[in-house]
Each structure stands twice: as C-alpha cells, then as structure tokens.
Amino acid sequence: MAVTIKTPEEISKMRVAGRLASEVLDYIAPFVCAGVTTGEIDRLCHDYMVGVQQCVPAPLNYAPRGHAPYPKSICTSINHQVCHGVPGDKKLKNGDILNIDITTIKDGYHGDTSRMFTIGETSIQARRLCENTFLAMWRGIRAVRPGAHLGDIGHAIQSMVEAQGYSVVREFCGHGIGKQFHEEPQVLHYGKPGSGLKLEAGMVFTIEPMINAGKAAIKQLGDGWTIVTSDHSLSAQWEHTVAVTATGYEVLTLSAGSPPPPPF
C-alpha cells in the first residue's frame, strides 16, 4: 500500500480529530487515581467521546486480521503492560504508571494520541522512565521535515533511550493514519540516519515509542490483545499524530491540557 499524501483540507479535518482525542485525555485526567478501575476510565471516556464530542471511539470492535474484535473504547496499559491493555475490573493503586491511548474518528478521519499517568507516589525509576519516554517521542518529532528519512526519527529515539539504559520495543511502531486507523508508512522507533522512506509534505503518521526499563522482549497475554514485557520490567509510551509540513512538522493531537514540548 502506498503512502497517501493528505490535502490541506484533509489535514484540517485530522487536526479536529486529533484535538478531540487529546481533549479526551484532558477530560479523564482528574479521574485517574488510586481505587478507580480501568473499566470505569473506559466508560467515562466512551461516554465523553460519544455523548459530548459526538465522535466514534476507533478501538471499539476494531478487528485487524488474526484478532478478535477489541472489546473496549480505549486502551489502558499498566506498569509492565506495553500496549493494547484491555480495560477491566483492575483497580489502580498508589505507585502505578498508566498509559491511556485514545483514537477518535470525526467526520471520517482519525486522531490518535496517548499519555502516561502516574498514580500517587511513584518510584523515582518509574517517573524517570515516563519522563525519558516523553523526551524520546519529542526527539523523534523534531526529526520530522521534508527530505528527512524515517530512519532519522527512529535513530533520534533509539540513540537517546539506549544511552539512558532503556530498550526500544521493536515489534510495534508508529503508522500512517487518515481515513484508515492504520496506513502506510510504518514508523519504527529505531533505525539509522538517512535510511528508510524520504518524508514529503502532506504525510501524516504517529510517533509512539514504547520504551522498556528492562529488556526489549515482549509477549502477548491470553486475551489476544494485551502486550507485556517478558521480564516484567516497567514500560512507558507517549504518542502524537504528526503531519509533515513544507518547513517541518505540525503536531495534530494538541489541546489545552497537553504537556508542553520539552526545551531542547
């Protein structure tokens, strides 16, 4: 499948979908605390997306080849869960770290973003992992410009996190996005400078590094969706949807409550 170049009109619609996805995270933040279940977080997000924003939660019943339909409206990945954690009856507890991944569909276009949340008093190591993963995502974003290569993004992320003693999950990556949830290209979070597809204005894709405190190896749980670290080490992820512009990049998944870009 070829990479689709989005028109300014399409990017304008994706800007709306992206903002809505980020605003779900703004909305849910006060509810993310010890004692709440991930199922309750899912219910609140679903009701907000459908009832208030009048958009569609893309994960609900999403069924790529080889998978049963995903049963919830968001993904909630706790501690050693890397991605695609299925909300349920598990209560958050003091010291947990949590990724909430939101994808909205508005007027036929997708917006995809995720954030890390810390629950109560987390360990220094857990906070440091979340902070460095956030920095790594932004280092990848800052590598985006016309004429750059996908490998430049991956290298910017990989070189930073491995220098800190972390590892990059390789089985999952960023992806093109638009009318479809997952499009070309695949955006690896590791790589060599100057390698891979050359970027052009109008490309839109996610950058969503999954960084493990321990080794990179992962495994899938029996629910067919939840991915965890094989060594039970903590994992963190941040995600934005990014458009390549004529002069650089635009982050499409920003809202009033988005954490500001780090100073470099």
Is 264's pLDDT higher than 90? no
Over the stretch 9-21, which tens digit does the pLDDT of each residue have?
999 999 999 999 9
Q: Is residue 63 part of a domain?
A: yes
Q: Could you tell me the pLDDT band of residue 198, with boundaries at 50, 70 and 90? A: very high
CATH code of 181's domain: 3.90.230.10
Q: Is residue 55 part of a domain?
A: yes
Q: Is residue 76 part of a domain?
A: yes
Which residue range(s) make up the domain with 92? 8-251
Q: Is residue 260 part of a domain?
A: no
Is 163's pLDDT higher than 70? yes
Rounded mean pLDDT, 136-164: 98
Q: Is residue 259 part of a domain?
A: no
Find how far residue 124's CA is from the centre of its chain: 23
Tell me what pLDDT residue 83 has: 98
Cα(199)–Cα(140) distance, integer angstroms: 13
Q: Is residue 95 part of a domain?
A: yes
Q: Is residue 264 part of a domain?
A: no
Tell me what pLDDT residue 1 has: 61
Tell me what pLDDT residue 6 has: 98
Count Cβ atoms within 10 A of the Cβ of residue 176 and give its class: 0-12 exposed, 13-18 middle, 19 or more buried: buried
Give the number of domains in the chain: 1
Mean pLDDT of the residues in the chain? 97
Q: Is residue 215 part of a domain?
A: yes
The residue whose two tokens read 């939101």 is 102
Tell me what pLDDT residue 117 has: 98
Is 65's pLDDT higher than 90? no
